[in-house]
Structure 1
Amino acid sequence: MKYWFRGIKLLLLSLCTLILVVACNSSTPQLQSSETPENVASNCRVIQHDGGEINICGQPQKVVALSPPLLDILLSLGVQPAGYAEVDLLNSKVFDNPSQQIPFLGDRVTSKPVNLGDRHNPSIETLVQLKPDLILGEKFQLESKYRLFSSIAPTAFFDTGGKTGWKSAMEAIAQGLNREAQAKQAIASHDQLLETVKSQLAPVISGQTIIVLGWQKVTNESFIFAPDFVTGLLEDLGFQVIVGKSNRPSVSIEAIANIKADHILVMPSGDNTIEDAKQQWQNHPILRLIPAVQAEKIYFMDYQLTRIRGPIAAEIFINQIRQLLQS
């Protein structure tokens, strides 16, 4: 029994220490040497986000992204992250080789952001030690994490889902970072790329249907994409997209075979790879007889793009689908 009480005592002491550290490190953007309190006060912006609003004064120097969509947006605005939380855990304190450690976005990261761990459970201790000026996260983190994160630094959470969720999030973040011009340019570049590729692919896409599958090997755990980032881009390009339900119920091989779609986009998820998925479709006696497969109108892309779902991911997706359809 005494060991049980000792364990409880140590746990309480640890919690108290964390609370004190958070309180002591609660911060706002730091003043630069050329700034005065009067100048900063006149340079405050109220930022609306899914948790309400925050007041940002001066220019944040240490900005943290708690998931891939927020990193995508920061990089599109020309801002390098001070800290980052990825999908897959990294056994390193910092992203010291980002081009290899951060899929699709790492070659644009010139800083060595602190590794904050899993996006679903970022390290509070590491955040406190980093002392960020601004924390950016996603809406799903709002209910359980907002009060804790905002005790460390000004925190804004955004819904980056849906077809264009990243646009509204980018505009709000750009306001807080004094990067409105960069946001307008990124959105304009995205819209222009869409129109260009849509025109190029019109002869191939016009009147054609497509289905997008989250593919977890040859099991009954795969699903049809509901309306979201990827299906929205395909619609913008001119496809008629066959969509599933928002709760992504599992769909059987037999059900997939009965869906009448001119094109199939397979996005391997979990530990499945594109090369493995191709083999699974080629070797399966039912899948390989699907008309779209027989017509060589089946394509494979990395599922990670759906997790990033920002302007950079959109550009990569659009260019990849153009290449696949024109090959």
Structure 2
Amino acid sequence: MLVIRKSYQFVHFLLLLLLVALLIIACQNLPIEAPTSIELRDSTSDCRLVKHEMGETKVCGQPQRVAVLSPHILDSILSLGVQPFAYATDGLLNLKKFDQPKKQIPYLGNYVTSQPINVGDRKNPSLELLAKIKPDLILSEAWLAKEKYDLLSQISPTLLFSYFGPDDQKDWRYDIEGIAKALGREDKAKELLTRYPDQISTVRDQLASVVAAHPRVLCISTDNLASTIYLEEDYTVTRLLQEVGFKIVSPQNSSLVPGNNMQISIEVLPQVETDLIFVMAWSNNNLKNPQEKVKQQWVKNPLLKQLPAFKNGHMFFVDYFIWGGVTRGPIADGLILEQLPQLLNPLNEESG
């Protein structure tokens, strides 16, 4: 009887092994499809239709793995309390992920607590890598990703936004609510929009005497070689300066400025009647603090260093990444509004 019982147990054990093996084989042969939308990943959460530049997209819940394909979008989501899962910025950086964001992502890296995967250049992100990492949501700007929208949408739900408002005015307030709705952070967007007028009012009070004494401002940009100069009339710093109370001047009426081309000649600058000049510097080789390099170049140029604004200490060299048209978000605005009184404080003392 003992032998028969052991034989039965052994046969029973073999049958269980066979059943487990058959189940494993069956599971391996089943077609595996990755979720194609946030709705499938979180079907029990609230869903909403989010309008963007390419139409409407259904988003459910609060996406956790968000791929961000521009500095402007990164600024916006960080302002809304969301961390990036993947990020595409200017140029191709030789790193797999931003494991030291404070060093690797200018300014905005101070607000990044995650280690986002590097998916390449904002104008040409790696579709292969995006398909591999499968984010919950892809966010970018229409001017950057419109031609790739169909391909991106095949990878994950994709929304493209635009910060252009009436008369092509550029302002994060035009797209922050759409971005917030996609992320399920509408309340955060309302807080940002409510707080913004108070920020402007505070700086306007701080700089009232400077504005009264030096109301006219010229805003230009140049590379770190100071070889090409562009007029900047409708970017972040010009909008903020106007809201604070300054008047933006333009050399466009000069006969030396060709047509509607925003590139201007160095010879034009002495002809511009202005009290202050902001020079936004950028670098094609990711040079840190390009404004310092530009300032050194201007000192070498006999025409530029003779400008009244330069000689009087009324010329300010700043980083285009924040002050110009790269970031264009709530964080960028906050940094500029914080730095403006610091830069212009010596003029306040002059006025006093």
Same fold (TM over 0.5): yes
Cα distance in structure 1, aligned partners of 2:108 and 2:186: 21
Q: Does 1:257 align with 2:257?
A: no
Residue by residue, what CA displacement relative to the aligned partner does 1:212-269 show, whole Å, maximum 9, x if unpaired? 1111256552111031222111111111012478975321111122111110001112
Q: Which residue of 2 aligns with 1:233?
A: 240
Unaligned runs of 5+ in 2: 1-31, 253-258, 347-352
Q: Counterparts of 1:190-269 in structure 2 under 5 Å?
A: 190-206=196-212, 208-217=215-224, 221-243=228-250, 249-269=262-282
Alignment partner of 1:293 out of 302, 310, 316 = 310
1:223 and 1:251 in contact (8 A); partners too:
yes
- Aligned partner of 1:304 in structure 2 is 321
Question: Which segment drifts farther, 259-268 or 235-244?
Answer: 235-244
1:99 aligned residue: 102
Partner secondary structure for residue 48 of structure 1:
strand
Residue by residue, what CA displacement relative to the aligned partner does 1:163-202 show, whole Å, maximum 9, x if unpaired? 5531131101111222111111122222211110011101
With CA pairs under 8 Å and 6+ residues apart, which has the higher RCO, 1 or 2? 1
C-alpha distance in structure 2 between counterparts of 1:101 and 1:218, whole Å: 23
Percent identity of paired positions between Structure 1 and Structure 2: 39
Paired residue secondary structure (1:103): coil
Question: Which residue of 1 is the match for residue 337 of structure 2?
Answer: 318
2: CA distance between counterparts of 1:244 and 1:228? 16
Secondary structure in structure 2 of the residue aligned to 1:110? coil
Matched, 1:281 2:302: no
- C-alpha distance in 2 between matches for 1:247 and 1:61: 45
Q: Distance in 2 between matches of 1:321 and 1:248?
A: 29
The residue number in structure 2 matching 1:135 is 138
Change (3 A) 1:242 1:111: same
SS of the residue 1:301 aligns to:
strand
d(CA) in 2 for partners of 1:70, 1:325: 29
**Counterpart Cα distance in 1 of 2:147 and 2:211:** 43
Letter in 1 for 2:230: F
Q: Give me the whole-angstrom Cα distance separating, in 1, the residues matched to 2:49 and 2:117.
A: 27
SS at match of 2:262: coil
Match of 1:28 in 2: 37
Q: Could you say if the C-alpha distance between residues 219 and 276 of structure 1 is closer, same or farther in structure 2, counting changes exceeding 3 Å?
A: closer
* SS of match in other structure, 1:308: coil
- Work out the CA distance in 1 between the residues paired with 2:336 and 2:123: 25
Find the residue that maps to 2:64 and give its secondary structure: coil
Whether the aligned pair in 1 keeps the contact of 2:226 and 2:297 (CA below 8 Å) is: no
**TM-score with structure 1 setting the length:** 0.85
Which has the greater radius of gyration? 2
Moved more, 215-224 or 233-242: 215-224
**1:178 aligned residue:** 184
Within the candidate set 124, 133, 136, 1:121 is matched to 124
Contact in 2 for aligned 1:227/1:243 (Cα 8 Å): no
CA distance in 1, matches of 2:251, 2:158: 34
Q: In the alignment, is the contact (CA less than 8 A) between 1:268 and 1:301 conserved in 2?
A: yes
**Residues 229 and 243 of structure 1: is their aligned pair in 2 closer, same or farther, counting only changes over 3 Å?**
farther
- Within 2, Cα distance between the matches of 1:242 and 1:187? 28
d(CA) in 2 for partners of 1:178, 1:160: 19
Question: What residue in structure 2 maps to residue 17 of structure 1?
Answer: none
Structure 2 CA distance for partners of 1:219 and 1:316, relative to 1, 3 Å? closer
Q: Give the SS at the match of 1:293.
A: helix
Q: Does structure 2 conserve the Cα–Cα contact (< 8 Å) formed by 1:263 and 1:298?
A: yes
Cα distance, 1:157–1:243 mapped onto 2, change above 3 Å: farther
- For 1:148 and 1:194, locate their aligned partners in 2 and report how far apart those are by CA, in whole Å: 41
Q: Give the count of matched residue pairs.
A: 299
Amino acid at match of 2:128: E
